[in-house]
Amino acid sequence: MTTKSKKKAYVKLQCVACKRINYSVKKSKGEDVEKKLELSKFCSWCRGHKLHKEIKK
């Protein structure tokens, strides 16, 4: 039998500069559910690495 792993939720990341939704990533449902995810990712619209923040669905 396989063991059950912790469930993960998909969240959308929005570019801070141009406000476009570029990425959807998995986020674990753990203790830090209240914290919003912030990553530096490449934005194809801005043509550079920009800060991306988690948004509501």
Residue 41 structural domain: 8-27+35-55
Confidence of residue 2 (pLDDT cuts 50, 70, 90): low
Q: Does this model's pTM top 0.85?
A: no
Task: Judge whether residue 4 has pLDDT over 80.
Answer: no
Average pLDDT score over residue span 9-25: 94
In a domain, 40, yes or no: yes
**How many domains is the chain built from?**
1
CATH number at residue 13: 2.20.28.120
In a domain, 48, yes or no: yes
In a domain, 12, yes or no: yes
Cα separation, 41 vs 22, in Å, equals 9
